[in-house]
Amino acid sequence: MKKYLLTFSVALIIGFFLSNFFIRQYNNFNGIKVGGMGEELYFVQYGVYSNLESLEDNTISLQNYVYNEQDNLYYVYVGITKLEENANKIVKHYKDLGYDAIIKKFEITNKDFLELLVNYDEILKGTDDDTAISSIINQVLMKYEEVVING
């Protein structure tokens, strides 16, 4: 019986240390985490293009944007927010400028960007001034590119 108790105790201690090791590795992981560790954000999509040349030709008039390549298509986004109300405000802003835009949802896990976005969302929520809205949109897109894309 003593032999089994000692074996069980050693296995329990080793398991404890290994689980702590793996948890610390996961918390320091900089890649894309799977399993709902991020937050769902609203991305305002401007268009989808089949090649970079077409994307560049059709986005000349935009002040700022980010794009994502997926399945040989280039998706252009002109706004990012946590709040659906702000996403609708961004869509309205672009529609008032004569552009079509739609809202898509994506999960983002970058904690630094998510924290920055809270402040921008509060400012955007409290304004209806087109110049302020445009400035906030551009700041968010620049921060997204700096923190998430170029990371």
Q: Cα-flanking dihedrals φ and ψ of residue 66, to 5°?
A: -125, 155
pTM of the model: 0.73
For tokens 């999960």, name the residue: 107
What is the C-alpha to C-alpha distance for residues 93 and 21, in angstroms, rounded to an integer?
49
pLDDT of residue 137: 96
19 domain-assigned: no
Q: What are the structure tokens assigned to 148, written together?
A: 């998430």
7 domain-assigned: no
13 domain-assigned: no
92 domain-assigned: yes
26 domain-assigned: no
Report how many domains make up the chain.
Answer: 1
What is the C-alpha to C-alpha distance for residues 139 and 145, in angstroms, rounded to an integer?
10
The partner residues of 68 in beta bridges, in order of sequence, read 75
In this structure, are residues 80 and 140 in contact, taking their beta carbons and an 8 Å threshold?
yes
pLDDT of residue 31: 46
120 domain-assigned: yes
In a 3-state reduction of DSSP, which class is residue 32? coil
23 domain-assigned: no
Q: Which amino acid, residue 97? A: L
pLDDT of residue 89: 97
Among 33, 27, 93, 99, CA closest to 61: 99
Helix, strand, coil percentages in the chain from 3-state DSSP, rounded to 5: 55, 20, 25
User: In CATH, what number is assigned to the domain containing residue 106?
Assistant: 3.30.70.1070
Please give the residue range of the domain that contains residue 124. 39-149
Per-residue pLDDT reduced to its tens digit, 5-32: 777 777 778 877 667 666 666 555 444 4
67 domain-assigned: yes
